[in-house]
Structure 1
Amino acid sequence: MSVNEFVGHFLTKAHHPTPLGGRNAKHEGWSNPILKRSDHTTLEAPQRRGRNLVETVGQRLRNAIAKGDLKPGDKLPSESGLTQQHQVSRTVIREAIASLRADGLVEVRHGVGVFVLAPQAGLQKGFRSVDSNRVSSIIEMLEVRAAIEIEAAGLAASRSSPAQQELIFECLDTMNRQIAAGSSTVESDRAFHLAIADSTNNPRFRELLEAIGQQMIPRSLLQEEDVDISPPDYLSQIQSEHSLIARAIADGDDSAARDAMRTHLKGSQQRYRALIRRS
């Protein structure tokens, strides 16, 4: 079953979820004016046409790296410098850098800058082989994510700091705003899962997820330019599942966190398997 055929089924078979949930009242008012946000820089809601600009800037930077204009170890211009160079907003630059970082092309060093990484062979290349024309290939990727992220959620519940938990909730808030605005949530969804990986305080979890690349979020295969074509009720269902994961982590309940992540990722697998059976 091709992705194009899948879209038709997807738009008509979405679940009817519980309403969008914000954070638990227990976690309201978590803003920390002195918290320095880490390199999760995809959290601002993009403008409706921002996706095209993100992809354009990202491709320019990828081309510069591929041609050797930007070599391993080179430092990219500052955010303001890239903004002026490409004549786009800071949000576009942040999302483009986040995309490069997710694909293992650059490294963000806090307080220093963004640096080009040496090409990585083997594991990362293998994870990029998701076939967007085969729903079964997407399921394979989701199974790998489940093996990684269920345990990551449990460790995050046991080890995360208040600042890391706050970042997870910021990702939730960003997705809520983007859903309300009709903007794509793909990048902020990925930022949510990477924030959980970071909250394990074991860098290998982030490395494994970043090795999967942009296709870590299957909806990226169904996105039309900067518009997420997923039905609102489907996005609401996903967001409800995200909220349960975040609350369990913030409560320090490692068992509930694992269960919530298992429900989330196994549910995605079941939805895609149902499409295969109907095809």
Structure 2
Amino acid sequence: MASEKQQISQPSKGKATLVTQLVEKLRAAILSGEFRPGDRLPSEAQMTQDYEVSRTVIREAVAALKSDGLVEPRQGAGVFVLALPTPVSLPFQNVDSARVSSVIELLELRIAVEIEAAALAAQRRSPQQEETILSRHRDLFMLIEAGQPTVEADFALHLAIAEATNNPRFPEFLSMIGRSVIPRAVLNDSSDPALQHSYLSQIHQEHAAIVEAISNGDDVAARAAMKLHLRGSLSRYRSAHQRSLMKI
């Protein structure tokens, strides 16, 4: 404890720094199990002696720990450690791109969002955003023709369309899902280069219809083309799912 006293009680440190240091020490003690749920923290008098800080610093540190949900002051009884909060489960963190059923769930959600994104992009895209969409589409085509991996380029095209809505929630949504929403291996497991190229050429044609409609400012056609593309993907995934079930 002597080293802790020396660290916290440096005379050159301001009160805010002392509070921060004490908060970190007490938080570490709680998270490490030194103080367990239900335990009472040492009294103010004891902590002022242990850490050589004022009661004001102690109270502010306790207030910070309370706001973090780590402790609970009880009138006349002291400050007690609470059970550690359950970690919040973030959306789309348990998506398994190797499971076709998991990808189908995401595709159904994408259909609801990206159809409208395509329409809004057709209405709102700036000249620079339109050029970005065209460039991403060309990049994808070049990779297809070269027989190179296309997942990153495919995702970049969809992201460019989402950004062209000029509504930041659309690209946020796609970024939150991540590139795993385009798991080529699940669908295109053929070792035949001709079949692979045929499949990717179909995807390119569907993308081309979307891009052309957006470039023409035709929101109706953009919506229809994106719907055709994503519903086609959904149909292909469902077929892949059925094939996987038949192999079991």
TM-score > 0.5 by shorter chain: yes
Matched position secondary structure for 2:166 = coil
For residue 163 of structure 1, what is the aligned residue in structure 2? 128
For residue 204 of structure 1, what is the aligned residue in structure 2? 169
- Moved beyond 6 Å, runs of 4+: none
Q: Do the aligned partners of 1:222 and 1:229 also contact (CA within 8 Å) in 2?
A: no
Deviation at 1:130, TM superposition (A): 1.6
* 1:141 aligned to which of 106, 122, 125: 106
For 1:157, the aligned partner's letter is: A
Matched position secondary structure for 1:127 = coil
For residue 239 of structure 1, what is the aligned residue in structure 2? 204
Distance 1:208 1:252 in 2: 23
Pairwise mapping of residues 57-72 of structure 1 onto structure 2 (< 5 A)?
none
Query: Measured at CA, do residues 157 and 139 of structure 1 come closer, stay the same or move farther in structure 2, by a change above 3 Å?
Result: same
Distance 1:265 1:122 in 2: 31
Query: Measured at CA, do residues 244 and 222 of structure 1 come closer, stay the same or move farther in structure 2, by a change above 3 Å?
Result: closer
Matched position secondary structure for 1:231 = helix
Distance 2:229 2:200 in 1: 12
Deviation at 1:132, TM superposition (A): 2.9
Distance 1:211 1:145 in 2: 12
Deviation at 1:253, TM superposition (A): 0.6
Deviation at 1:145, TM superposition (A): 1.0
Pairwise mapping of residues 162-201 of structure 1 onto structure 2 (< 5 A)?
162-201=127-166
Pairwise mapping of residues 1-279 of structure 1 onto structure 2 (< 5 A)?
125-219=90-184, 231-278=196-243, 279=246
What is the aligned residue count?
A: 155
> C-alpha deviations, 1:34-76, integer Å up to 9, x for none?
xxxxxxxxxxxxxxxxxxxxxxxxxxxxxxxxxxxxxxxxxxx
Matched position secondary structure for 1:126 = coil
Matched position secondary structure for 1:269 = helix
> C-alpha deviations, 1:111-142, integer Å up to 9, x for none?
xxxxxxxxxx868x321322234211111011
For 2:175, the aligned partner's letter is: E
Structure 1 or 2: larger helix share? 2
Distance 1:242 1:221 in 2: 20
For residue 7 of structure 1, what is the aligned residue in structure 2? none
Q: Do the aligned partners of 1:219 and 1:230 also contact (CA within 8 Å) in 2?
A: no
Query: Measured at CA, do residues 222 and 266 of structure 1 come closer, stay the same or move farther in structure 2, by a change above 3 Å?
Result: closer
TM-score (norm 1): 0.52
Distance 1:258 1:135 in 2: 25
Distance 2:107 2:175 in 1: 14
- RMSD between aligned alpha carbons? 2.3
For 1:161, the aligned partner's letter is: S
Gaps of at least 5 residues in structure 1 are 1-120
Query: Measured at CA, do residues 155 and 220 of structure 1 come closer, stay the same or move farther in structure 2, by a change above 3 Å?
Result: farther
Gaps of at least 5 residues in structure 2 are 1-86
Distance 2:115 2:134 in 1: 18
Matched position secondary structure for 1:200 = coil
Higher RCO (C-alpha 8 Å, min separation 6): 1
